[in-house]
Structure 1
Amino acid sequence: MLLNSCVGRFVNLQLSVCSSIKGSLQSGSTISWVRNFQTTSCLHKVVVARPKKTKRRTNPVTYEEIHPPHFIAVRKGFNSLNTSNLLAGTRSGETAIEDMFIRKFIEGTWHRLLLGKLIIKRRANLIILSGFFHQSLAPSKFYFLQGYTEEILAYVLKCPVKMEIMTCSDRKALVVTHV
């Protein structure tokens, strides 16, 4: 019942708009401009995935963030390497959800230690996670977190997981420039 009333209101609105447009036109003129009439807001596609510029150039930017998305596989690599997104690939949705879960799990487990983006590589049944981490913990705690992460993710995802850890002592080591 509710759907019928909503559809009826939409049709009445559409008819009233069309009749008002037709009535405002002079007789004999075409209404081809009605087909190009748009009511959505303007999308500024030139600013997508660009770092926000500041007046005093205080926004730190890494090498990966400098390049816009159309330079992926030209100047920079993918953050998630898998073949399930190819034509007729299987498990594309499941792979995307698993990648989101892995990123959130690493972000929570390695709290404030991950410096850049996490790279997820899938080779057959093996998942390889690599990233830059801050050296604020003792090496024994790093090894514990690495083993904990590998074991929990291997149990949840039902496939072997390996972590490649690269460490930096300075949090600003990955910053290339300021924008």
Structure 2
Amino acid sequence: MRAALVLVLAVVLTAAGCGSTEEPQSAESDAPRIDFLPGARVGELAEKQLEAEHAEMATGAVDCPDLEWEVDASVRCVKTSELSDGRRVRVPGTVTVTSTEGYGTLHVELDDAIAEFGVDGRHLADDVTTWVSRRVRGGPVLATCSYLVGKPGASSVCKVVVAGEHCRVRVSVTGVDAGDFRTRYRMDWKVRPKAA
């Protein structure tokens, strides 16, 4: 999954609030002077370039800390992508400043191995809502779940409201398919509603 690319920052830095919005006459003399590139902007630039260079790559977001604006400065970032069926994949990578001349250049490289995968909280909440609805009669079900990491033995507790009554459902990972980033899980009551 190694993806390496180079970002030329040209007018991009001006959008980060680091200069004017007009095209410079000379990149050498008119380039904004900065000490660092904000992490949110580093992540935005990295994701945009990854999507442009690798059309087959799932879209997502890259989270990075601030990046010092000097040659060879680098930060570790994490790309998070949402796949079908609520699958979420996190891949670490490195963004490095390769030039500060003119508007500068960044190099983005994702690691070969993923950091983790699991199930998005919204998808999990839909599954829990269906599971609870089959077991409890008497009103609407509203479930709220957090992300569930795809590791055997991992678990998460979802908050559920059934016809105004609060209960909890534990979701436990029973198996994973790392090749497809799929997580199998089972649900059981942690706190049952009276109607169950």
Please say whether Structure 1 and Structure 2 have the same fold, judged by a TM-score greater than 0.5: no
TM-score tier, shorter chain, comes to under 0.3
Query: When the two structures are superposed, what TM-score results if normalisation uses the length of structure 1?
Result: 0.26
Greater radius of gyration (CA): 1
Normalised by the size of structure 2, how large is the TM-score?
0.24
More helix by percentage: 1
Q: Of the two structures, which has the highest relative contact order with CA contacts closer than 8 Å and spacing of 6 or more?
A: 1
Write 1 or 2 for the structure with the bigger share of strand.
Answer: 2
